[in-house]
Amino acid sequence: MTNNTAVKIDALPDPYSVPLDQINLSDPRLYAENQWGAYFRRVRDEDPVHYLKDSPFGPFWSITRFEDIVAVDTNHEVFSSEPFIMIGEPDDSLPVSNFISMDPPKHDEQRAAVQPVVAPKNLAQMEGLIRERISEILDSLPIGEEIEWVSSVSKELTSQMLATIFDFPYEDRHKLIYWSDVATGAPELSGGTVDHDERITALFDMVNTFGALWQQKAQFRAAGNAPGFDLISLMEANENTRDMIHRTEEFMGNLGLLIVGGNDTTRNSISGSVLAMNQFPDEFAKLKANPELIPNMVSEIIRWQTPLAHMRRIATRDYELGGKLIKKGDKVVMWYVSGNRDERMIENPDRVIVDRARARQHLSFGLGIHRCMGNRLGEMQLRITWEEILKRFDDIRVVGEPVRVHSNFVNGYESMKVVLTPKA
Ligand code: HEM
């Protein structure tokens, strides 16, 4: 079962009818039902640094305004990423450790080891391949009939790209999507619906599969061949990460990070961009009339969608923010999804404006030392997708309401039906 299957949704109350100190921004129904906007608006206006005493994820602070999120995200000494960056606590039976959940110096060493995979030179080399793959996917879609956009395009493209950067067997690429979904979909982590035993089995399968791939690459290198430029070869060749295969927790954690990092995020931005062009038809017309706006539109979509709703930190000492005293040891959740809609910082934040000025000034990639390592890759995939869409189609009409992910972490779509109209 993936994130959103068979979830019964009870009606959510009007946010203004709930006592302010009981508003629970971690309720996954807010995201599954697309109701989070009004809840966050109230909290941003009335109690922007908000404390909830009691929740399924324990007590936590919510940081909801743009500038306060900047203050927290850029202060890693006070706001530690250890032991974990999702609101929930990881399961003791599955200890994981990865560099997004580490502070310096370990974070910096491990990030530096894998960063070359997304270096500008490597990205430039990937561009042609991405274009070829998205073109093939788009050319294979039936015209004029209802199709499932999430599985046929968004998931397909991101799994192909991940298989490329991992040099993972192409025919098994759908496993990458599955592992990514189960990694973040546990109820105790994000309010997801993935069964505990299924999750453990899947993640061990992931570790074993990547373990075998690692050994295969090590043997290839030992036989005198030059190492590849994929993520496993880079980790295997770097002195800070080469023994990671023997540190199961870190091995599993870093693979999970790289798979999730490059997966749900880009996938949900692609789906979100199609929905946005349906909700704002004038902006779609503007884009079609002027495809040079695509790079700007891509940033605007990534802001509007905010594919990862939050990151959490733990305060390492008492700290005052917005007139509130955050105590040492408190859990602090930065809601990017709210900061990106903060009217104090962004004009008309709920609207998608494809030629918005300074569209890249958003929070979706985070800030500071953990700022998304794959941000340029994600943007590139979206840009190429739209360049190729506009060459082929006049319209991508969304039919009915999309089904959204039941999670307070992944802000995205399980399913979205569309009908394509080719260019006249
Ligand atoms: C970190 C979002 C694409 C790999 C992050 C963070 C966010 C994020 C919010 C944490 C930032 C923080 O704590 O300050 C996104 C979005 C994407 C995207 C919205 C696409 C639209 C990718 C891709 C990759 C990737 C394609 C694949 C290489 C990572 C890694 C980290 C990270 C490895 C950890 C960085 C660190 O801790 O130093 N991303 N991401 N991301 N992302 Fe992405």
pLDDT of residue 10: 61
CB distance 183 to ligand 1 below 6 Å: no
Task: For 320-374, write each residue's pLDDT tens digit.
Answer: 999 999 999 999 999 999 999 999 999 999 999 999 999 999 999 999 999 999 9
Let me know the angle formed at the C-alpha of 104 by 165 and 329, rounded to the nearest 5 degrees: 115
Amino acid symbol at 204: F
pLDDT of residue 334: 98
Alpha helices by DSSP H, 140-263: 149, 156-166, 174-184, 187-190, 196-222, 231-237, 248-261
User: For the chain, what is the total number of helices (H) and then of strands (E)?
Assistant: 17, 10
In ligand 1, the atom with minimum distance to the C-alpha of 379 is 21
pLDDT of residue 183: 82
pLDDT of residue 93: 67
In ligand 1, the atom with minimum distance to the C-alpha of 311 is 13
Q: How far is the CA of 67 from the centre of ligand 1 (A)?
A: 20
Residue 237 CB-density burial (10 A; 0-12 exposed, 13-18 middle, 19+ buried): middle
What are the tokens at 103? Answer: 């502070």
Measured CA to CA, the distance from residue 182 to residue 193 in angstroms comes to 9
Measured CA to CA, the distance from residue 85 to residue 67 in angstroms comes to 20
Average pLDDT over residues 254-273: 89
pLDDT of residue 114: 81
Q: How many other CB atoms sit within 10 Å of the CB of residue 86?
A: 23
CB distance 382 to ligand 1 below 6 Å: no
In ligand 1, the atom with minimum distance to the C-alpha of 382 is 21
Is the Cα dihedral 146, 151, 154, 157 positive or negative? negative
In ligand 1, the atom with minimum distance to the C-alpha of 117 is 28
Q: How far is the CA of 363 from the centre of ligand 1 (A)?
A: 11
Query: Which residue's C-alpha comes closest to atom 1 of ligand 1?
Result: 372
Question: Would you give the DSSP letter of residue 399?
Answer: E
List Cβ neighbours of 226 (8 Å cut-off, separation of 6 or more).
none
Measured CA to CA, the distance from residue 213 to residue 257 in angstroms comes to 17
- Phi-psi domain of 342 (left: phi exceeds 0; alpha: psi -120 through 50; beta: other): beta
Residue 227 has pLDDT above 80, yes or no: no
Residue 218 has pLDDT above 90, yes or no: no
Average pLDDT, the chain: 91
CB distance 257 to ligand 1 below 6 Å: yes
Question: Cα-flanking dihedrals φ and ψ of residue 404, to 5°?
Answer: -100, 160
In ligand 1, the atom with minimum distance to the C-alpha of 268 is 21
Q: How far is the CA of 260 from the centre of ligand 1 (A)?
A: 9
Task: For 48-106, write each residue's pLDDT tens digit.
Answer: 999 999 999 999 999 999 999 999 999 999 999 999 999 998 877 666 678 999 999 99
Q: How far is the CA of 44 from the centre of ligand 1 (A)?
A: 25
List Cβ neighbours of 176 (8 Å cut-off, separation of 6 or more).
159, 162, 163, 166, 168, 259, 263
Contact 43, 338 (CB under 8 A): yes
Measured CA to CA, the distance from residue 222 to residue 394 in angstroms comes to 52
Q: How far is the CA of 181 from the centre of ligand 1 (A)?
A: 16
What DSSP string describes 44-72?
A: HHH-SEEEES--TT-SEEEE-SHHHHHHH
In ligand 1, the atom with minimum distance to the C-alpha of 269 is 21
Measured CA to CA, the distance from residue 240 to residue 78 in angstroms comes to 26
* 46: Cα within 13 Å, side-chain hemisphere: 14
Is the Cα dihedral 42, 44, 48, 52 positive or negative? positive
CB distance 307 to ligand 1 below 6 Å: yes
To test the ligand 1 pocket, which listed residue (372, 373, 408) has its Cβ within 8 A of the most ligand atoms? 372
Question: Would you give the DSSP letter of residue 414?
Answer: E
* ipTM for the whole predicted complex goes beyond 0.95: yes
Query: Which residue's C-alpha comes closest to atom 36 of ligand 1?
Result: 370
Contact 386, 297 (CB under 8 A): yes
Average pLDDT over residues 113-134: 84
CB distance 255 to ligand 1 below 6 Å: no
